[in-house]
Amino acid sequence: MNKAGERLWNGLVKENPTFVLMLGMCPTLAVTTSAVNGLGMGMTTLVVLALSNLMISAMRKIIPNSVRIPAFIVIIASFVTIVQLLLEAYLDSLNDALGVYIPLIVVNCIILGRAESYAYSNPPIPSLFDGIGMGLGFTVALTCIGGVRELLGAGELFGRRVMPESFTPIGIFVLAPGAFFVLAGLSALQNVAKAAGAKKGKDVSKIGSGCSEDCLNCGQKGCSRRLVEFGAQDPEKASAQTLGETDAKSSGKAEPQTVRGTDIRSLGKVDSNILEKADQSDVQEIPDIQILDWTSTAKEKKK
Amino acid sequence: MSDLRKISSNPHIRSRSTISGIMAAVVIALMPATGFGIWHFGPRALMLIAISIASTVGTEFLYGLLMKKTTVGDLSAVVTGLLLALNLPVSVPWWIPVLGGVFAILVVKMLFGGLGQNFMNPALAARCFLLISFPALMTDFSYDGISGATPLAALKAGESVNVMDMILGHTAGTIGETSMVALAVGACFLLLCGVIDLKIPGSYIVTFLLFEAIFGGHGFDPAYLAAQLSGGGLMLGAFFMATDYVTRPITSGGQYLFGIFLGLMTGIFRIFGPGAEGVSYAIILGNLLVPLMEKVTWPKAFGKGGKRHEK
């Protein structure tokens, strides 16, 4: 269950969807006019995110790769419909306040992003906790933004007057520009906090998620899908990496022509070698990337 | 002369004008309008101007301390504070210029990298920030106990206005915008000093007048056009804020384009908008489009462009 805790921490702090990943900006900017609205939106998204992550992860082996996005959308849309009907039945005032942004959760990029980058390649339980962590991170972020905007823009917090009577509400903060100001300010604050943490020696730069697109620093085992895509999407980068590795192994006897063809299977092998090494040494070392000097090797061959 | 003779890399041709010199010229040019505002609206206007300048300069100084870099000496904060105060009604409470000054310097200027990096005129951005936040306070133009509408609002409502009063400045309005004569004196000073030229203000005013004549509903009625020209912040905006070195296009063609755009937007805001005034929104909208205007008017370097010579 350590994994679950790590997922929660990841969603709340390390990769907070709003302040770090900057995902789901549309509801973030639009509905956070008050703390209650932010909280409501966050909780609604949390429920959909957790359930859709669980469902997608459970179905990940039967969803064909080529139609995975439509499949995700269908699953997410089902949960959103359920949540919306429940809101209409039991929390009508919140439903009115959030309006069109409830159905729009279907296309929320946090949900689609977590489905694509985590749930589709990980088992159900970690995926569920990934969804809950991300949802909590989103909820906390939206509540904070909504709270600050409500405090400055109306002098209230959760509908109660907290500022002194002499305070004149700064109207711009409940309008759209105020959302940008507050979002930028809070993101800057959390960056400052993380920078302070990094100075003390805590390593906050290493991202521990399933996929950060940073394959060299990634110790995730069993992530075969990513390796394939890695080879297919960015053959130059991949071949440079493989070249570096084979070069280090065979001390300059690499044959560039065959490696350059980016054999996906061999890529997977080499990359898993790196990963195993990293696991053994407990420290994720980045293998030196050496770019082969094509002309010199060719000359050496001739000799 | 000795400090101009240096062995150095390019640029080799250096201008003697400095930032603080230009800013001082702008401050001097604003003095007639400031003086008239204080005389017309009373000592409260002086207090607001002082608070506004203290706020902007203080913010710049404190931020400089934080960043270990002193930029107060270039006087740009003084110009921003003065322009902000001239754009406020005299009846606002004292904390309005404080808030506006902090916003102008900290958010609009310093967070984007200081003078030269701000994409929007700080004083106008602060005015719009205040106008959106406190619409009731910022449009309360009462003075001397008379709660009068601005002449532009009266004009829009179809009432008759005294054009002579508007040109001289005996009307309601913000502290610095009422007197066209005082602003014109300052503008002439800036033109004679070579700090600004007529490209932006000229194209702005001509476009605006043409737009008003065509769509204003009064035809080429000189009294109406003169009232539109002298009312509101048009002169202040055209000569002192649209010509801000940082936020105007640097290409010559771009400057004409900028002026035309401002004229059109101001006309649209004044005639078709809900309010009577539109200069400040027009200018900050124009500021946002400056990179595009520069892009379409960027001159070709010698040897670039044209047809490729086929061998």
pLDDT tens digits along A227-256: 444 444 444 444 444 444 444 444 444 444
pLDDT at residue number A27:
86
Q: What is the ipTM of this complex?
A: 0.79
Find chain A residues with C-beta within 8 A of B135's C-beta. 171
A168 lies within 8 A of chain B by CB: yes
Please indicate whether, in this complex, the C-beta atoms of A171 and B132 are within 8 angstroms of each other.
Answer: yes
pLDDT at residue number A225:
42
Q: Roughly what angle, to the nearest 10 degrees, separates helices B76-86 and B122-133?
A: 40
pLDDT tens for each residue of B187-199: 999 999 988 999 9
pLDDT at residue number B5:
64
pLDDT tens for each residue of B30-68: 999 999 999 988 899 999 999 999 999 999 999 999 888
Find chain B residues with C-beta within 8 A of A171's C-beta. 132-135
CA dist list (Å): B280 to B127, B172, B210, B236, B248: 8, 18, 19, 10, 14
Mean pLDDT on B266-277? 87
CATH number at residue B273: 1.10.3430
pLDDT at residue number B3:
62
A173 lies within 8 A of chain B by CB: yes
Find chain B residues with C-beta within 8 A of A172's C-beta. 129, 132-133
H-run or E-run covering A160: strand A160-161
Please indicate whether, in this complex, the C-beta atoms of B132 and A173 are within 8 angstroms of each other.
Answer: no
Considering only the C-alpha atoms of chain A, give the largest distance between any 2 of them, rounded to a whole number of Å. 89
B61 lies within 8 A of chain A by CB: no
* Average of per-residue pLDDT values in chain B: 88
pLDDT tens for each residue of A24-72: 888 888 888 889 989 999 999 999 999 999 999 999 999 999 999 999 9
Is there a domain that residue B96 lies in?
A: yes
Residue A283 has pLDDT above 80, yes or no: no
Find chain A residues with C-beta within 8 A of B132's C-beta. 171-172, 175, 177
The confidence band for B186, taking pLDDT boundaries of 50, 70 and 90, is very high
CB-CB contact of A130 with A114 (8 Å): yes
Residue A185 has pLDDT above 80, yes or no: yes
Is there a domain that residue B263 lies in?
A: yes
Ranges of each domain in chain A = 3-199, 215-302
Number of domains comprising chain B: 1
Is there a domain that residue B12 lies in?
A: no
Please indicate whether, in this complex, the C-beta atoms of B133 and A173 are within 8 angstroms of each other.
Answer: yes
Which amino acid, B158? G
Is residue A233 helix, strand or coil? helix
Q: Which residues constitute the domain of residue B252?
A: 19-297
Residue B249 has pLDDT above 90, yes or no: yes
Is there a domain that residue B206 lies in?
A: yes
A174 lies within 8 A of chain B by CB: no
pLDDT tens for each residue of B196-229: 999 999 999 999 999 999 988 777 788 888 888 8
pLDDT at residue number A302:
53
Helices (H), B103-179: 122-133, 135-138, 151-156, 163-168
The confidence band for A74, taking pLDDT boundaries of 50, 70 and 90, is very high
Please indicate whether, in this complex, the C-beta atoms of A171 and B134 are within 8 angstroms of each other.
Answer: yes
pLDDT tens for each residue of B13-31: 878 888 899 999 999 999 9
pLDDT tens for each residue of A193-209: 888 877 766 554 444 44
pLDDT tens for each residue of B81-106: 999 999 999 889 999 999 999 999 99
Please indicate whether, in this complex, the C-beta atoms of B129 and A172 are within 8 angstroms of each other.
Answer: yes
Q: Which A residues, 252 through 291, put their C-beta within 8 Å of a C-beta on chain B?
A: none
Please indicate whether, in this complex, the C-beta atoms of A175 and B137 are within 8 angstroms of each other.
Answer: no
pLDDT at residue number B260:
95
Please indicate whether, in this complex, the C-beta atoms of A181 and B107 are within 8 angstroms of each other.
Answer: yes
Q: Which B residues, 86 through 145, put their C-beta within 8 Å of a C-beta on chain A?
A: 99, 107, 129, 132-135, 137
Q: Which A residues, 178 through 197, put their C-beta within 8 Å of a C-beta on chain B?
A: 181
Residue A271 has pLDDT above 80, yes or no: no
Residue B185 has pLDDT above 90, yes or no: yes
Task: State the Rg of chain A over Cα.
Answer: 24
**C-alpha torsion A30→A35→A40→A46, nearest 10:** 90
Is residue B222 helix, strand or coil? helix
Q: Minimal Cα–Cα distance from A63 to chain B, Å?
A: 46
B268 lies within 8 A of chain A by CB: no
CB-CB contact of B36 with B235 (8 Å): no
Which of A163, A166, A168 should we substitute to test contact with B (largest number of B Cβ atoms within 10 Å)? Answer: A168
A257-261, A287-291, B185-189: the lowest-pLDDT one: A257-261
Residue B301 has pLDDT above 90, yes or no: no
Please indicate whether, in this complex, the C-beta atoms of B133 and A171 are within 8 angstroms of each other.
Answer: yes
pLDDT tens for each residue of A117-170: 899 999 999 999 999 999 999 999 999 999 999 999 888 888 888 888 888 888
Q: Minimal Cα–Cα distance from A171 to chain B, Å?
A: 4
Percent of chain A residues topping a pLDDT of 90: 30
Find chain A residues with C-beta within 8 A of B107's C-beta. 181
